[in-house]
Structure 1
Amino acid sequence: MAYTSLADLIDRHGERQLIGLTDRGDVATDMIDTDVVDAALADTDALINGHLAAKYQLPLSTVDPLIRDLAKAIAIYKLHVYEPNGKIVQDYKDALVTLRDIARGVVQLRADGVAPATTGGGGAQVTDRERPMTEDSLKGFI
């Protein structure tokens, strides 16, 4: 499931910026290269899924607005070949921090996906050594 789209990126950053980031051919076409955008969106989805898989069953049936916002910040960062401006870098870093918080359970999503089943091994387990003084070893003293 795609967490954001080309239309979302155009709404947030404008068509002119996306043309500047994606029109990388030898001959300028003055058009958005959708193959470049699709690659960035696939990378973005993989990064987000890697973090969400720790707490949520994938794919999510609905995309939480927070995830959509994080995906926009990550995708625009990934579209840059050269150093992006400070705001884009900071938005990307903030998105990664938020994804880590989601993976740790600090931030919870309103997602229809079910949390992955646990193994049940979360309880305490005690292993005791063999007792040296038993009724058999103390025969005659008891």
Structure 2
Amino acid sequence: MTYARKSDLIERFGERELVQLTDRTRTPPTSVDDVAVDRALGDAASLIDGYLGKVYALPLATVPANLTKVQADVARYYLHGKAADKDSAVTRAYGEGIAWLRDVAAGRIRLDDGAGDAPAPLPGGAGRVQAGRPVFTRDTLRGF
């Protein structure tokens, strides 16, 4: 499942940046390479699904806006590749997205689908157990 599209990347980062990151055949670059963008978005979606699949049934019924942002940031990082400086805004946004996904997978953050309820968690998730009063105590076992 994809959470962001090429148009989301253009809206967030500008067409000029996408042209520079994806057009590797023309000098100077002149157009966005849809294959490269689709590959980066697909790789980012697979990464996100790996985290979300631990907690939520996929595909999600609706796409929360924060997932669109995370996929866009991860795809942008993938498009930069080795050229992404470790102290750059691109790398920082990627790191923040991964940290957020880890929190979602750990259950510390719930996804907001806009309706107020998070998507249904997968069966077998963590439950709450509350014990009753103990049956056997020192007093009830006295004399044995």
TM-score range, shorter chain: 0.7 to 0.9
TM superposition score normalised by structure 2: 0.78
Match runs of 1:1-142 below 5 Å: 1-25=1-25, 30-85=30-85, 86-111=88-113, 113-118=119-124
| Structure-1 residue corresponding to 2:137 | none
Instruction: Give secondary structure in 2 for the equivalent of 1:82.
Output: helix
Paired residues in the alignment total 124
| Structure-2 residue corresponding to 1:136 | none
Deviation, 1:83, is 2.1
Specify every segment of 5 or more residues in structure 2 that has no aligned partner in the other structure, as ranges: 130-144
Instruction: Give secondary structure in 1 for the equivalent of 2:24.
Output: coil
Contact 1:59 1:113 in 2 (8 A): no
Instruction: Give secondary structure in 2 for the equivalent of 1:4.
Output: coil
Aligned partner of 1:54: which letter?
A: K
The CA distance in 2 between the partners of 1:107 and 1:57, in whole Å, is 16
Per-residue Cα deviation, 1:65-123 (whole angstroms, up to 9, x for no partner): 11111111101001113322500000000100000000000011124632111179997
Contact 1:58 1:113 in 2 (8 A): no
Identity, % of aligned pairs?
34
TM superposition score normalised by structure 1: 0.79
Instruction: Give secondary structure in 2 for the equivalent of 1:108.
Output: coil
Deviation, 1:57, is 0.3
> CA separation of 1:120/1:52 partners in 2, compared to 1, >3 Å: closer, same or farther?
closer
Aligned partner of 2:119: which letter?
A: G
Instruction: Give secondary structure in 2 for the equivalent of 1:81.
Output: helix
Per-residue Cα deviation, 1:9-52 (whole angstroms, up to 9, x for no partner): 00011111000000012665611000000000000000000000
Aligned partner of 1:101: which letter?
A: D
